[in-house]
Amino acid sequence: MVAGGGTCQGFEVTAFRAVLRTESALSVYDPGQLVAGFRSMSMLAGLVERGGRPAPVSPTIPLRAGEKQYGWFPVDVTGAGRKLAVITSQRLILGDDEYPLRSVCGLRPRPEDWALTVDARGGRSVEIVGPWVPWLGVVLCAEIHGAAWPPGYAPVIPAPRRRPRTLETIQ
């Protein structure tokens, strides 16, 4: 599906690159990563909606007592370039910047653009873009709200396309 290009839940992915449609950042990513990140978001959202939790991974940074790490990957931070994002059960780390999850007062996911805006107390706001950002948004919502999406948010995620079936009648 990805190797030669195609679609993932309605999003066009070419064999060589997929360009993110955001006003603030245009980045080129491997189409396999875009598809994998979006599919992982969809599966994790379903799990969280059924009462599940994100699974921790082996830590790549020193963790605090009781803290679990869920993942790490590169993201584009609007106005600051590419940084390494680390998500734990207590904080979001973007390069040298750290956002304690208890200080996050708003999440504005845009999975169709592989983007997420994080609003924190004190007027701090950051927009991040990348293949795994939709998945990251679900992890943050699960940790902060106990749900797959922020309160009042109605995700618009295209349903997978199905092949038309032909029915044969037997006489």
Supply the pTM of this predicted model.
0.77
The pair of three-digit structure tokens given for residue 118, joined into one six-digit string: 């994080």
Q: Which of 128, 106, 120, 119 is nearest to 22 (CA)?
A: 128
Sequence spans of domains, the chain: 17-61+68-145
For the chain, give the number of residues.
171
What confidence score (pLDDT) does residue 6 get? Answer: 39
**Strands, E assignment, the chain:** 6-8, 11-13, 18-19, 28-29, 69-77, 81-88, 91-94, 97-100, 104-110, 115-120, 124-129
CB neighbours of residue 133 within 10 Å: 25
CB neighbours of residue 165 within 10 Å: 5
Domain 17-61+68-145 has CATH 3.40.50.720: no
Mean pLDDT in order along the chain per 10 residues (171 residues): 37 37 50 86 93 96 97 94 96 97 96 92 95 95 95 68 58 62
| Helix (H) or strand (E) run with residue 145 in it | helix 133-145
